[in-house]
Amino acid sequence: MQDTIRGDARVIEDISPFCTESDAIHHSIDSYGNAFHWFRLDTPRHLPQAAAALHKAGARLAMVTAYNRRQLSEPMQEVCYHFELKGIIYNLTVTLNGEWPTVPSITPLFANADWHEREMMELYDIQVTDHPNPRRLFLDEELDAGILNEAVPLSIMMNGACTTDLWERILKDKEKRP
């Protein structure tokens, strides 16, 4: 590892075995001196073990982001869990596809993952297994899970490019249902 990369070497060593592809691990420092570690896990089933390494080191879950990707015309979603440990950001990314369409919950390790994971389930129909409280947060039970992914693609929503038009389309869709 380069000596310019800062971070907890033990955490990096503990997570690295879950990232075996050649470009699965990336370290960087931005122009302000902030250090970032990116780990693309081989499979979502490794997420709890990788998150446990961060939990053991005292990291906090800062944010969870999800987005759509396309590869070979196959729709895919990715989820990235962003952790902070001593001012350094550790990012765990998992790809959800036909081979592994779900992500395991890390709420048992990080209580604040609860709302993030429930929001992904409700708004974008990302399946989170073993979640302790999978109840909906916002939308009426009559609406299909993932309705927002149909109305506004997740990538656009994450960029903040939605308007009141979104809610008008959702309400109109709800009125059409029997």
Parent domain of 163 = 139-178
Q: Pick from 68, 70, 64: which is nearest to 78 by CA?
A: 68
Does 45 share its domain with 127?
A: yes
Residue 137 CA to residue 132 CA, distance in Å, equals 14
Task: Report CA torsion sign: 28, 29, 31, 34.
Answer: positive
Percent of the chain with pLDDT over 70: 69
The pLDDT of 43-70, averaged and rounded, is 92
DSSP the chain: --TT--S-HHHHHHHGGG--STTSEEEEE-TT--EEEEEE-SSGGGHHHHHHHHHHHT-EEEEEEEEEEEETTEEEEEEEEEEEETTEEEEEEEEE-SSS-EEE--TTT-TTHHHHHHHHHHHH--EEET-S----SSS-TTSPTTHHHHHS-HHHHHTT---HHHHHHHHHHHHH--
Mean pLDDT of the chain: 81
Task: Give per-residue pLDDT as tens, 62-71.
Answer: 999 988 775 5
Residues 107 and 150 in one domain: no
CATH number at residue 55: 3.30.460.80
| 19 & 64 share domain | yes
Q: Residue 65 carries which side chain, given as an amino acid letter? A: T
pTM of the model: 0.77
Any idea which residue has 């961060």 for tokens? 54
Res. 60: pLDDT tops 60: yes
Distance separating alpha carbons of residues 120 and 126, to the nearest angstrom:
5
- 74-103 per-position pLDDT tens digit: 667 889 999 999 999 999 999 987 776 789
Q: Looking at the structure, do residues 105 and 130 belong to the same domain, yes or no? A: yes
Q: What is the mean pLDDT of residues 107-136?
A: 85
Please state the domain count of the chain: 2
In a domain, 3, yes or no: no
